[in-house]
Structure 1
Amino acid sequence: MTGPDGRAVTAFTPEHEKELHFIAVRRDTAGFQHVHPVRDGEGTWSVGLALEPGDWRFFADIHPAGHDGTLTLGIDVAVAGPYDPRPLPEATGTARVGAYTVTLDGGLLPGEASELTLTVSRDGRPVTDLQPYLAAYGHLVALRVGDLGYLHVHPAGEPGDGTTAPGPGIVFTAAAPSAGTYRLYLDFQHEDTVRTAGFTVRTGTAAATPRPAAEPPAAHPGHRRSGHAHH
């Protein structure tokens, strides 16, 4: 990673415990990974990724030391091989991750901040002992379907400061940069494992269906940048 002077940048201000947040998403949004590369003394970052064939977009969130705020850099990458595009999932407001169910309440509005609550349960029971993951109970990435306009949002407050609770609900405030359809990805940690739940949301309409009274058991086992989109 080089700066305006062409030299490698080696001094960064950590954001949510990491100097670099790296997001990889396939153009059909079927593939998504949020990882944290390691930097060597020469300023080169490295991380291992398993990427299916297709066109991908990479995003890097960084805060160079001395710079006023976080920057997001993006690049397109093609992965060779037989490409099998997948249809966009329905906007159901509920996501299953193994034995976990995550329900999304609230609407994503274009140009207007709104509240989104993601509620985690396991086998029909609310999860009230979420673990902090990178100084937050949840990390939310929103990507605009089509051009992959990008938002990375964290909940207000930090674990232990008295303003947040370890589940079952995680509250975010975000604004969509424009009308459209978005994919939301929530990273949360429970029992020492980080899981990702994905949702399809259309702006200007209810983002979630009403939560059922009881969930049946599953069949198979901060800082905010809500006003800026990057693509």
Structure 2
Amino acid sequence: MMKKSVKIWTVSGIAYLGLVIIGYSLFVGNEEEPHSDAHEETAMEVQGDSHEHEANQNEKENEQMENHQHHQHAAHNDHAAVENEVSVTAAYEDGKIVVELKDPEGNAPVLETNHEKDLHLIVVKSDLSEYRHLHPVSKENGVFEQAYELSDGMYKVFVDIKPKGLAYQVKPVELHVGEHQNHSADNDLSVDTEFEKTVDGRTVALSVNSLKVNEPTVFTYTSKDGKPDPYLGALGHVVILDEDAEEFIHVHPSSEDETVFETRFSKPGIYKVWGEFMFGEQVHVYPFVIEVTE
């Protein structure tokens, strides 16, 4: 009887132990499953954060590229309104054009070299019939002088400079030569229909992709006499004025080996375009009149 009781207790103990082991296993399994889900959820969150970071990075890079393109475009155009921190005056005395520059404190501004020169001076007759691109010599206290014979009349000059640390936008300055030259002459511009001209034996053709407001306008010049020589650090220069000689655009080539110039017009109207190219030792200027539409 005693042996039978011991046997029964032994079997019961083993069975109880088995139930304990099975229950513990089930408990541990239930605890690990939520942990696994939490781990997967965390991994998904990290992956989501990674994609979001990548998207933000791409957006940031695109924004930087757009800003770079905007600044690059702004360097060739003067459409944005800027309050000048450099005052400019011009006078004609004894066969000399005299330009004076002053900063807000009345001192001479420090200028950065821009295309091999500290100052580019564009002089046009008020009716846009005459055009000069000059480089006056610096004297002292912000004064620049250029010996040049001008006939009597009303002119507008554009001083193209890069003052260090000062805001500046090219604006027209009236220049009166001779007596009673107090009013601008009316211009009589006719839009060109042929875009090929020969100047001093050198022929250049111009093609334009678009003449619409707020669209990229690309001027492509082709010379029948081969590629021009470098001039002031570029293969050419293009200066554009509206018919009232108020809006000034100075454009340089888009690349170092092509005479291709890109700009953008902010308003419709008649514009005169001067393309400057050097062949040998002589600079040739090719004027064309265009019309920009809405």
So what's the TM-score if we normalise by structure 1? 0.74
Aligned to 2:280: 191
Deviation at 1:145, TM superposition (A): 0.6
Going from structure 1 to structure 2, the CA distance change for 1:204 and 1:39 (only over 3 Å counts) comes to same
1:111 aligns with: 214
Report the counterpart of residue 196 of structure 2 in structure 1.
94
Aligned to 1:177: 266
- The Cα offsets for residues 138-182 of structure 1, whole Å up to 9 and x where unpaired, read as 100001012432111111233xxxxx24xxxx1000112210011
Considering only CA atoms, is the larger Rg found in Structure 1 or Structure 2? 2
The alpha-carbon distance between structure 1 residues 8 and 82, as it changes in their structure 2 partners (threshold 3 A), is closer
CA contact (8 A) 1:13 1:65 kept: yes
Does 2:103 match 1:3?
Answer: yes
Equivalent residue for 1:154, pick from 244, 248, 252: 252
Percentage of identical aligned residues:
28
Query: Which range moved further: 36-45 or 132-141?
Result: 36-45
**Alpha-carbon spacing, 1:146–1:66, altered in 2? closer, same or farther (3 Å):** closer
Determine whether 1:29 maps to 2:131: no
Identify which of structures 1 and 2 has the higher relative contact order when contacts are C-alpha pairs closer than 8 Å and 6+ apart: 1
Match of 2:159 in 1: 60
> Aligned with 1:65: secondary structure?
coil
User: Structure 2: how far apart are the matches of 1:81 and 1:201?
Assistant: 33
Preserved contact between residue 93 and residue 200 of structure 1 (Cα < 8 Å): no
Structure 2: distance between partners of 1:45 and 1:78: 17
**CA-to-aligned-CA distance 1:105-144 (integer Å, 9 cap, x gap):** 0133322222110112xxxxx2224110011111000010
1:51 CA drift (Å):
2.0
Match of 1:140 in 2: 238
Q: Give, in angstroms, the shift of residue 6 of structure 1.
A: 1.3
Q: CA RMSD in A?
A: 2.3
Unaligned runs of 5+ in 1: 121-125, 159-163, 206-231
Against the structure 1 CA distance between its residues 89 and 98, is the aligned structure 2 distance closer, same or farther, given a 3 Å change threshold?
A: farther
Offset of residue 86 of structure 1: 6.9
Worse-matched range after superposition: 140-149 or 76-85: 76-85
CA distance in 2, matches of 1:66, 1:95: 41
Aligned AA for 1:78?
Answer: H
| Amino acid in structure 2 at the alignment position of 1:112 | E
Say whether residues 1:131 and 2:229 are aligned partners. yes
Query: Contact 2:157 / 2:174 at 8 angstroms: preserved in 1?
Result: yes
Question: Runs of 4 or more off by more than 3 Å in structure 1?
Answer: 81-87
The CA deviation at 1:82 is: 9.7
The Cα offsets for residues 200-229 of structure 1, whole Å up to 9 and x where unpaired, read as: 101139xxxxxxxxxxxxxxxxxxxxxxxx
Question: Which range is displaced more, 71-80 or 133-142?
Answer: 71-80
Name the CA shift for 1:147/1:134 in 2 (closer, same or farther; >3 Å): closer
Conservation of the 8 A alpha-carbon contact between 1:63 and 1:71: no
CA distance in 2, matches of 1:85, 1:50: 23
1:72 paired with 2:170, answer yes
Name the CA distance, whole Å, in 2 between partners of 1:190 and 1:97: 11
Structure 1 or 2: larger helix share?
A: 2
Name the aligned partner's letter for residue 5 of structure 1: E
Equivalent residue in structure 2 for 1:51, among 150, 175, 194? 150
Code of the residue aligned with 2:214 in structure 1: it is G
Give the TM-score normalised by the residue count of structure 2: 0.59
Q: 8 Å contact 1:96–1:102 — kept in the other structure? A: yes
Consecutive unaligned residues in structure 2, runs of 5 or more:
1-100
Cα-to-partner distance string for 1:55-103 (whole Å, 9 max, x where unaligned) = 21110011112346x6314311222269997742441322221212221
Deviation at 1:5, TM superposition (A): 1.0
Distance in structure 2 (CA, Å) of the matches to 1:109 and 1:54: 34
